[in-house]
Structure 1
Amino acid sequence: MRLPGRLAAAIAVLSEVETRKRPVSEALKAWGLANRFAGAGDRAAIGNLVYDALRHRASHAFLMGSDSPRALVLAVALRDWQEDPQALNAAFAGDNHAPEPLSEDEIARAAGSLDGAPAPVRADLPEWLAPSLERAFGADWVAEGAAMASRPSLDLRVNTLKSSRERVLKSLARFNPQPTAIAPQGVTMPAGPRDARTPNVTTDEGYLKGWFEVQDQGSQIVSALANAQPGEQVLDLCAGAGGKTLALAAAMGNKGQIFAYDSDRNRLAPIYDRLKRNGVRNVQVRAPHDNALDDLLGKMDRVVIDAPCTGTGTWRRRPDTKWKLSPELLATRMGEQAALLRQGLAFLKPGGTLVYITCSILPEENDDQIVALRAEHPELVSMVPAELWSAAFGAALPEGVATAAGGIALTPRLTGTDGFYCHILRR
């Protein structure tokens, strides 16, 4: 497929997302199944166009005067991919699968400037979230939002139970991997421009042998900050598919015991195969049922709560969720987080450590939850962010990462990662 056909396909996929309210990943998969002539490069390019359109939906719509799929995709081509409008129109004229030619108005609008645009437009996020972001990041909130609209890297965590970073870097050399800047066992492949394809590392021999897992560097960092020690009794209360469980098990050297639990049996399902592939032997999976965790009450050295959240920290990877988020969903997640924090305390022994994690950048889900918890439980003492960081990485805490209430907030702008929050308290 040539670029005109790819643009037309992206407009069709985005229309499907908008009209049928389908997740982007499902709409792209359905398009691929219905158009089997399209190669892997075509599918990657179309996916990049659709995701870029959603990442910059507010700013592109503002300039184009429309948030229609056509306006958004053409804005990506002209503004993000730097296509020449006259050359594009010439290509359209000779392609039966191309969209309608660009109008003079579309060309002029795409060349416009965001200077003077409202702050939420420049930040590329819903207007109702602006006060939350400003409270979290102060004067830098627009820059934080804009960074959250960038493309993400592909990050891997080396499984030290089976391999080493040097070995993984060598085995994936064809993808030009690099060591991560912060996570000591991380490997990263930066996002490429335009129609660049993301490497499919899950078919690699090293992945099948359990040498590494796909895991954003931010997730690796908060797992390291949890500081699980060999021999400890650890409860992973919201284990999900097990990404952080695997990282904790490797940090503990397969010594001690991790109890992996999730209230949703379906979320927990992939963990069994992942534990086997990674050679993990110190994890006991607790499926949800009545009294599943009663024997652990008051006995845990460490309770890790990777709480369900709005996922605002993952907007680079799932930009469609940015525009679906509502105050009602935020309120629901906040209620779930508060309940989980109080549930988790029941399993903590005196002197034990509570680790609270979200993939959110909103203070309502982060600092606010900890402030409310500590008001009810003055026996909880927040660990010092700079000391936690130094212990985990042997380096100074990056500027701007410590939050007002004593947590640690990671963002694409500050740490080159997805957005994550981590707060560690000791009883």
Structure 2
Amino acid sequence: MSKYFRDFHLMKLLKGFSTQGLPLDLFIRNYLKSNKSIGSHDRRFLAETIYTMFRWLGLIDYLSGKDRSWEHRYEIFQKLDTTTAHENPALPPHVGVSFPKGLYELIKSGLGEDKVKEFCLISNTQAPTTIRINPLKTDRQTLLTDWEREYEVYPCTNSPLGIVFKKRENFFGMEQFKEGLFEMQDEGSQLLAFLVEAQPGQQVLDFCSGSGGKTLAFANRLNGTGQIYLHDIRQSALIEAKKRLKRAGIQNAQILQYDDTKKKGLKNTMDWVLVDAPCSGTGTLRRNPDMKWRFDP
């Protein structure tokens, strides 16, 4: 693809994302899915450029002045030196690490002055991608054997279902993903799900479910019996959870809307209630850099 068309798609993605409410990863996935002519090299360029721009959007906007058009932001981004910005005394501390001021101050109150910059800078780097295999459909060694020929992968240290990819890949285009053999999930979330020792026939409420990652991790323990209820205040997350449940072949799960009156009937009926509070999403900033610009302390 020529630079002209690559930049055309980049601007279309950036401007389109700014006018809708989907998470960044889902928006990029949907866009690339509907533009199949974009090759793998250009897909990687578009995704990595957009993710990096959102990691450093605070600094980009500070340097952009009053012109906040995406064309001007991209010009600033191409000249940006992110390695030393946090050392520049002329920049406000939160700008140097490209974090919203309110979130920066909140993190500083918990970690202290010495650690807050370190946390923010680490959050602005790309994390290795961790996936969790679906034990209802496959096993870890089978996927490791398939992928070792093509990718840099290794098993997670602590989660028996986890595999780490050293680089971001087009996971959504993989046949194994389409068949529901794996899902993206940090190892920490996988381990949290292991704490739910649900047994067949039991009732489980995942109260801060997000898009259902933790539910997917422990659902196999119920062997298709009992019932799992997913609840979240974000409608977009529940819509994605419904898709993920279907892809994984999980049928004993129900989605509860935030204002669903059915919640009252669940009182004192659950065997397990999982509350992954405070549902801020700050633990996934390396994978979802757009979330920090939505954060309201």
Q: Same fold (TM over 0.5)?
A: yes
> Does 2:57 align with 1:57?
yes
**In 2 relative to 1, CA 111–278 (structure 1 residues): closer, same or farther, beyond 3 Å?**
closer
- Aligned counterpart, 2:271: 301
**Under a length normalisation based on structure 1, what TM-score does the superposition of the two structures give?**
0.55
- Aligned counterpart, 2:151: 175
- Superposed CA offset, 1:319-345 (max 9, x none): 33422433xxx4xxxxxxxxxxxxxxx
The worse-fitting range, judged by mean Cα deviation, of 211-220 and 49-58 is 211-220
**In 2 relative to 1, CA 45–272 (structure 1 residues): closer, same or farther, beyond 3 Å?**
closer
- Aligned counterpart, 1:219: 189
Alignment of 1:120-199 (within 5 A): 120-138=94-112, 139-173=114-148, 174-191=150-167, 198-199=169-170
Alignment of 1:353-368 (within 5 A): none
Identity of aligned residues (%): 26
CA drift of 1:15 comes to 5.1
Bigger-Rg structure (1/2): 1
CA drift of 1:134 comes to 0.7
- Aligned counterpart, 1:41: 41
CA drift of 1:144 comes to 0.7
In the alignment, structure 1 segments of 5+ residues that lack a partner are: 82-109, 193-197, 331-427
- Aligned counterpart, 1:73: 74
> Does 2:84 align with 1:115?
no
CA distance in 2, matches of 1:202, 1:148: 26
CA distance in 2, matches of 1:154, 1:113: 26
> Does 2:174 align with 1:200?
no
- Aligned counterpart, 1:375: none
**Under a length normalisation based on structure 2, what TM-score does the superposition of the two structures give?**
0.74
CA distance in 1, matches of 2:8, 2:255: 48
Contact 2:198–2:204 (Cα < 8 Å) also in 1 = no
Contact 1:286–1:293 (Cα < 8 Å) also in 2 = no
Contact 1:158–1:211 (Cα < 8 Å) also in 2 = yes
CA drift of 1:67 comes to 6.7
CA distance in 1, matches of 2:272, 2:60: 46
**In 2 relative to 1, CA 309–10 (structure 1 residues): closer, same or farther, beyond 3 Å?**
same
- Aligned counterpart, 2:231: 262
CA drift of 1:80 comes to 6.7
Contact 2:85–2:97 (Cα < 8 Å) also in 1 = no
- Aligned counterpart, 2:207: 237
Q: Residue 292 of structure 1 aligns to a residue in which SS?
A: helix
**In 2 relative to 1, CA 78–32 (structure 1 residues): closer, same or farther, beyond 3 Å?**
same
CA distance in 1, matches of 2:30, 2:217: 34
Contact 1:52–1:76 (Cα < 8 Å) also in 2 = no
- Superposed CA offset, 1:78-130 (max 9, x none): 4579xxxxxxxxxxxxxxxxxxxxxxxxxxxx997843233212321011222
Contact 2:180–2:247 (Cα < 8 Å) also in 1 = yes
Q: Residue 125 of structure 1 aligns to a residue in which SS?
A: coil
Q: Residue 175 of structure 1 aligns to a residue in which SS?
A: coil
CA drift of 1:236 comes to 2.3
